[in-house]
């Protein structure tokens, strides 16, 4: 799974970039002659809340849409096995799990990158506020939220497989 390893490298570099933003803000930002408008802090916080919501919802929706567009073949269990069983996914399996896994990673790349970019944007908001003259006590929260979002987006095959199984109501099985 070379693509998954590439996703991990991308995750690490974007996560590291947020640390660079913080270091740049601490070393370059200067105290302004006049205190910055407090309204800017609230505006950037509101914008960041939108980014947080988008980073959580949009990639999941894009991934689900991309997976459904693949129209993977699902094999139903025989009627005798399903007769008195109402539980979801009971016995439904993907016909070609190895090919499905390869396509899964391909489908997951764009939503994954979008989620990382939206999460990183929260740290950029903190950097901009630092450049506008806000103190670290006001801007550090933006970086911390960005780091939490990025930690939640660490690429794991199991999380992508879970999204696939939920989209098709079928089990992928072990690799």
| pLDDT tens track for 130-175 | 999 999 999 999 999 999 999 999 999 999 999 999 888 888 877 5
Using only C-alpha atoms, the chain has a radius of gyration, in whole angstroms, of: 21
Q: Give the whole-angstrom CA distance, residue 86 versus residue 51.
A: 39
Predicted local distance difference test score (pLDDT) of residue 130: 95
Predicted local distance difference test score (pLDDT) of residue 120: 98
pTM over 0.75: yes
Low-confidence ranges of the chain (pLDDT < 50): 89
Measure CA 6 to chain center. 15
Work out the number of other CB atoms within 10 angstroms of the CB of residue 7.
23
Work out the end-to-end distance of the chain between its first and last CA atoms, rounded to an integer number of angstroms.
11
Predicted local distance difference test score (pLDDT) of residue 33: 83
Torsion region of 36: left, alpha or beta (phi above 0 gives left; psi -120 to 50 gives alpha): beta
Predicted local distance difference test score (pLDDT) of residue 136: 93
């Amino acid at each position: 799974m070379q693509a998954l390893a590439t996703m991990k490298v991308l995750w690490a570099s974007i996560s590291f970039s947020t640390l660079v933003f913080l270091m740049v803000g601490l070393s370059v930002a200067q105290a302004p002659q006049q205190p910055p408008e407090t309204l800017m802090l609230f505006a950037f916080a509101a914008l960041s809340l939108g980014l947080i919501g988008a980073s959580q919802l949009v990639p999941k929706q894009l991934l689900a849409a991309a997976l459904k567009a693949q129209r993977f073949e699902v094999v139903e269990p025989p009627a005798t096995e399903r007769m008195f069983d109402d539980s979801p996914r009971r016995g439904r399996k993907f016909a070609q799990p190895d090919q499905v896994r390869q396509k899964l990673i391909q489908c997951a790349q764009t939503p994954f990158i979008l989620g990382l970019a939206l999460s990183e944007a929260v740290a950029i908001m903190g950097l901009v506020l630092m450049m506008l003259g806000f103190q670290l006590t006001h801007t550090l929260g933006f970086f911390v939220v960005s780091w939490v979002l990025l930690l939640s987006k660490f690429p794991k095959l199991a999380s992508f497989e879970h999204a696939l199984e939920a989209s098709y109501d079928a089990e992928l099985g072990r690799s």
